[in-house]
A = this chain, B = another copy of it.
């Protein structure tokens, strides 16, 4: 069966986020005052698995082996069954 997976990757608390700081500084230059800027990346894909649990287990392995750096990232996995 086909599943849609969504991995949300954010930086752990206390990690510097240069991208977010740059955005905030650039917005300030345009006279927009914003605070607590953060960025999150979402990676979406579809995969085949026998069950939701198996799909989640596979995606978790992908996160640990490739998609995330567990030292600096938090990640959250959402699995939806595809539309077949």
A residues engaging B (CB < 8 A)? 5, 20, 23-24, 26-27, 30, 32-48, 58, 61-62, 65-67
Contact = CB atoms under 8 A, between A and B. Distances in A.
Total copies of this chain within the assembly: 2
A32 B47 contact: yes
A19 to B, nearest CB: 9
Nearest to A48: B33
A30 B58 CA distance: 12
A32 B26 CA distance: 39
Given A34-B45, A39-B43, A40-B41, 9 more contacts: A27-B66, A33-B47, A34-B47, A35-B47, A36-B46, A38-B44, A39-B42, A40-B44, A41-B42
